[in-house]
Chain A
C-alpha cells in the first residue's frame, strides 16, 4: 500500500522549544496545489495555537522504488564506508554528496580515490553533473552543478540513529 505525501509544520513555544505537527494528503496534485493547502492548514493551526508557527514548512513525497534492479544488500556492506563526492556549482561553491555503503572494489588500489573510470561511478557522476535529461542536480541555492572536485573513500562513524 502506497504511503501518502506528508506536510510538516513546525511550531515553537515561548521558550523557543520546537515541535512539529504533520498531516497526510493524497497524491496526484501539483506542487502549487499542495502549497496552497499547506498554507491554509498552517493558518488554521495558527488560529488555535499560541506558539510561533514557522512560516516555512515542508512536504515529503514518497517515491516508488519497486522498479530498482539489483536492490539487495551486500553481506559486506557498511554504512560507515562512504563514497564522498565533492562537486562544484556555477558559483564555484562546493556541493557535497555522500553515499553510504561504498563497495571497496571501486577504490583505486593503494589510494583512497574512487575509480572514476568504473562504469557505475562514472554513471553516478554524469547523473549529478548533467542530470537525467529533465532534472539536473544543483546546490542549495539552486546553482547548477558543473564539475567534480574529488571522489574518494571516507570512513565515518554512523553514530546515533539519525531518523
Chain B
C-alpha cells in the first residue's frame, strides 16, 4: 500500500506557542504541484486561524531496497560517526552523525579518527562529497558539499 504524502503547516499563537496541522495528499504528482497545493492550504488555514503561519513543508515517504536486516549485537545508537563537511561557500558547513557506527572495525587504532581508507567509509564520503551522479548533497542552505574536514567517532548518549 502506498502511503500518502503529508503537507504540514506550522503555526504560532500570540503566546508564541507552536502547533501544526497536517493534510495528506496522494502520490503521483510533482513537487511543483504539491508546492502550489501547500501554499493554497496554508492560505486557507491562515484564513480560519488567528495564528501566524511560520512554515510549510511537504513530507515524502521512501521505501528503500536491500535494507532492514536486524541490528548486530554490538549496535548502539550512542556510538556515532561524526562528519563535518565543508561547503563550496566559505564558512558554511554540514554536520552528519551516523548512529550505530562500526567503531570496532572502522576507526584507526589508538585514535578516534575514522578510517577513511576503508572501502565502505570512502564510498560514504564520496557520496557525500560528489553525490550519486544526479544529486549531490548540500548544506542547509543549498551550498554544495565539497570536502569532509572532520571524521571521527563519538559516543553520545541518546535522549530516550
- A interface list, Cβ under 8 A from B: 1-4, 7, 11-27, 29-31, 33-65, 67-80, 83, 95, 97-103, 106, 120-121, 123-124, 127-128, 131-132, 134-142, 144, 158, 161-163
Contacts and interface: CB of A to CB of B under 8 A. Distances in A.
26 contacts: A7-B62, A12-B75, A13-B77, A17-B158, A18-B77, A21-B99, A26-B135, A27-B142, A31-B60, A35-B60, A46-B69, A48-B120, A49-B102, A55-B68, A56-B63, A58-B62, A61-B59, A62-B55, A78-B17, A103-B48, A123-B47, A124-B44, A124-B48, A132-B36, A138-B24, A141-B3
The 9 closest A-B pairs by CB, nearest first: A77-B50, A51-B100, A74-B50, A101-B51, A19-B99, A135-B37, A100-B19, A50-B75, A47-B120
A78 B52 CA distance: 11
Given A34-B135, A48-B81, A99 B49 contact: yes
Contacts of B108: none
Interface residues of B, number: 99
Contacts of B21: 97-100
Nearest to B137: A23
A26 B138 contact: yes
Given A29-B134, A65-B42, A56 B77 contact: no
Given A79-B19, A138-B25, A71 B135 contact: no
Interface in B12-68: 12-15, 17-27, 29-31, 33-53, 55-68
Nearest to A120: B47
Contact of A97 (B13, B22, B56): B22
Nearest to B76: A13
A134 B56 contact: no
A56 to B, nearest CB: 6
A5 B42 CA distance: 19
B11 A63 contact: no
A29 B160 CA distance: 35
B106 A120 contact: no
Contacts of B139: 4, 24
